[in-house]
Amino acid sequence: MAAATTLVVAPSAGAADDDARIPAKYLNQKLSWVDCTTDGTVQCALMKAPMDWNKAATSPSIQIAVSKSLPAGSRGTRLVMGNPGGPGGPGLGMAPMLAAQPGARDHLAVGFDVRGTGASSNLSCLGAPTWPWDARDQRQVTFDKVAAVSKAQQSWCRKGSGALLDYVTTDQTVKDINLIRAVLGYQVTDYVGYSGGTWLGAYYQRYFPTHVGRFVLDSNADFTKPWNVTFGAQAQSFQRRFEKDFQPWAATYDAQLGLGKTPAAVNAFYERLRQDLVRRPLVVKDGGDTIKIDGNVLDGAVGGTMYSKMTFPLLGVLMMIVRQEWDGGRSPATVSLNQEQSALLANASAMQGANRPLSVDAYPSTFTAITCNDWSWPGKQTFADARTRQLTKPYPVVGASYNRNACFYWNRPDVSLKVPDARGIGTTLMVQSEHDPATNASLAFDAHANYPGSVLIYVRKEGDHGIYASGNKCVDSKVNRFLATGVAPDGDKTCFGLKLPDLGSRSQSETISVQSQLAAYAAAIRF
């Protein structure tokens, strides 16, 4: 792969000052790139960064995994970086994804695993207790047990992560991004961030406005307010996606699935199945694995499939299978699950019904560190319990597990974030779907209103989380034009979503071979 071409742009005084603040041992490092996909289109390297950027000269170093991909024929005259969200999601796969987009044909596309996750220096909360009680058990004695488990999380994260735990924050990560830009030799970076990546992108804009190019924020957290605002809005938006999109879809396939002829009937099916699984969990043997499916796991499976319409068939068939096996009275049942169904149930089982799990290592541990370290959360147990009771009746799928969160009890390090306010950065292009489950559309509207110069592409009749580069021509054309030319739409625009899938449609997850190879590369790295 050709070396990246440095932009021929004279740096502003602010840009020069930012680079001058980076210690020379980090700024002048030479990255050792290796092929990390079999076709040689993606290269990866480990970059050194200080654990504590606020004491960069004396801090011990950590590793940040970086990937790059140069589209065929590109001179790499611009840099575009991407983040998949989470927060804490591994992002090496963003490089080939962005390189494949028409808007990045003249860019060097770069992905990275944020500190704490993937092939970067890892956090771990391994061994932390989970919440085995039914999330809809509203007795105070159960809530007290939930609080005790939530309070215990930080000590396990400290045990598995050491000093790094306090330095996995947005304040530190945006400085890692700026180091990537500087080491690669670019004065500005363009950016595409999804979900939690919108938060990270907005904070980069606030910290390094002179290095900001064309920023696209898709599926938006409200990055102008604390994290608890974003997560507090999830109960309503997950329930809306389940009721307004999945249930009508499933009702159209009642002849095949048997979940109900109307949306209300599908919801009643789910509620009856959940009650039965609470009363008598179904034990499933899938190959060598044994999974206990209870009410919490069913909720986790529902939540996990709301992100993309392409997984609606997965959930519909799974609910049908679980109902049949439970009715058959076979425990443990031996069923034939496809790869996606097995992975979905295994993940939901590990979550133990918690909306934000803490015990399955680097990614969720990084998620916890960022969301708990960045901002304080209100009220501790009294608030958490009261809010959970308030959310459970109207929004049970996610609302019932609201209090299963370590952040209410977290002892934060000394972190003071500069809140994004859009000063000095030009146009930010925002994309948001109407029924997004994970980032409620209300968050995008609020952030947009508080972010002067932002332009919003609102996607009606759509609920997918992450819209750009997923096949919506209306959205893709506008975003690609902005990335390629810097020309944003002349004001807010409306696009419309794609139709829901046929029952026989498959999820896209098994076809993303490049991402699978990058995940394998990340798994092979040890520190």
Residue 164 pLDDT > 70: yes
Q: Give me the pLDDT at residue 17, please.
A: 77
The number of beta carbons lying within 10 Å of the beta carbon of residue 477 is 13
* 165-174, 213-222, 284-293: the lowest-pLDDT one: 284-293
Residue 526 pLDDT > 50: no
- pLDDT band at residue 13 under the 50/70/90 scheme: low
| For residues 360-382, average pLDDT | 93
Q: What percent of the chain clears pLDDT 70, i.e. is strictly above it?
A: 89
On the question of a cis peptide bond just before residue 50, with omega within 30 degrees of 0, the verdict is no
> Whole-number mean pLDDT of the chain?
90
Residue 489 pLDDT > 80: yes
Q: Give me the pLDDT at residue 384, please.
A: 97
Q: Give me the pLDDT at residue 19, please.
A: 87
Which residues are within 8 A (CB) of 51 and not within 5 positions of it... i.e. 6 or more apart? Answer: 59, 60, 61, 62, 163, 164, 167
* Model confidence pLDDT, tens digit, residues 170-196: 999 999 999 999 999 999 999 999 999
Q: Give me the pLDDT at residue 73, please.
A: 85
- pLDDT band at residue 505 under the 50/70/90 scheme: low
| For residues 162-167, average pLDDT | 98
Q: What's the CA gap between 448 and 524, in Å, rounded? A: 41
| For residues 195-200, average pLDDT | 98
The number of beta carbons lying within 10 Å of the beta carbon of residue 502 is 10
| For residues 35-42, average pLDDT | 91
| For residues 493-497, average pLDDT | 98
Residue 363 pLDDT > 60: yes
* Model confidence pLDDT, tens digit, residues 346-359: 776 655 433 333 33
13-122+171-229+418-503+520-524: CATH class: alpha beta
DSSP state at residue 246: I
Q: Give me the pLDDT at residue 354, please.
A: 38
Residue 511 pLDDT > 90: no
| For residues 106-135, average pLDDT | 95
- pLDDT band at residue 290 under the 50/70/90 scheme: confident
Torsion of the alpha carbons at 171, 173, 176 and 180, rounded to the nearest 10: -130
Angle, helix 312-328 to helix 263-279, in steps of 10 degrees = 50
Tokens representing residue 445 in the block:
């509207």
* 215-229, 290-304, 359-373, 390-404: the lowest-pLDDT one: 359-373
Q: Give me the pLDDT at residue 243, please.
A: 98
Q: So where are the chain's domains?
A: 13-122+171-229+418-503+520-524
Q: Give me the pLDDT at residue 508, please.
A: 46
Asked if 217 and 429 touch (Cβ cutoff 8 Å), the reply is yes
Residue 8 pLDDT > 60: no
- pLDDT band at residue 341 under the 50/70/90 scheme: confident
Query: C-alpha angle 445/448/453, rounded to 5°?
Result: 155
Q: Give me the pLDDT at residue 143, please.
A: 98
Alpha helices per DSSP H over 329-417: 339-351, 362-374, 380-392, 396-399
